[in-house]
Amino acid sequence: MHSILAYLKHILIATNQHGVHSPFVYDYLTKCLYVKHQRSKQKYINIFLKSIRYFNTKTLLIVSDSNGLKQIAIQEFPELQFGVPPYDMVFTEASDPKEISEILLKNKEIHNDTVLVVNNIHKSKATELVWKQLQYDRKVTVTIDLFYCGMVFFRKEQAKEHFKIRI
């Protein structure tokens, strides 16, 4: 029930690329997320795979791999390296705040252009709280709430902003 209400709230509040004033986020939406290229019925997997391609990810860490995400990524991008820091992209579940905190604390494992993909940010009130805490972390500059997952960026050259986007 929580997910349904959260989805309805998201649809009412979220915008599309026309409500975005950040060139970085606008380009990400129009050149990546809104491109019709579907590999899976699950939206978070499509977002994940499109983002790997768009950000030209070389090194990837998948913290929670309950759905065989690593195997899917290997099939799509055989040149990816896994578990070799510093990471260009990190995938984790919102239900694991300890892992997220550890990733944020380890400065040598992430860099300015690292993308953190947090799955299931609206699964429960607890995961929404984790998402809110991430938004206020001092290292985080941009967050994008896509409902199915959240994208977190650490770009020092970017003003701190939070977006809710319909996809």
Residue 5, judged by CB atoms within 10 A of its CB (0-12, 13-18, 19+), counts as exposed
Threshold 0.95, pTM exceeds: no
Q: What is the pLDDT of residues 17-43, one digit of tens each?
A: 656 678 898 999 999 999 887 788 899
pLDDT of residue 10: 60
| Closest alpha carbon to 63 in 3, 111, 109 | 109
Q: What is the pLDDT of residue 140?
A: 92
| Cβ count within 10 A of residue 164 | 18
Average pLDDT value for residue range 117-132: 90
The domain of 12 spans 2-164
Spatial distance between the Cα atoms of 47 and 151, rounded to a whole number of angstroms: 10
Distance set, CA 7 to CA 24, 35, 87 (Å): 25, 22, 31
Distance CA 78, CA 167 (A): 27
> 149, 44 in Cβ contact below 8 A?
yes
Q: Rounded CA gap, 91 and 87, in Å?
A: 10
Domain tally for the chain? 1
pLDDT surpasses 90 at 167 = no
Q: Which segment of 7-11, 45-49, 97-101, 141-145 scores lowest on mean pLDDT?
A: 7-11
CA 70, 54, 45, 114 torsion-angle sign: positive
What CATH number should be reported for the domain holding residue 87? 3.40.50
pLDDT in tens, 72-123: 999 999 999 998 899 999 999 888 777 787 777 777 789 999 999 999 999 8
As a whole number, the mean pLDDT across the chain is 87
Cα distances from 3 to residues 56, 122, 167, in angstroms, run 32, 6, 17
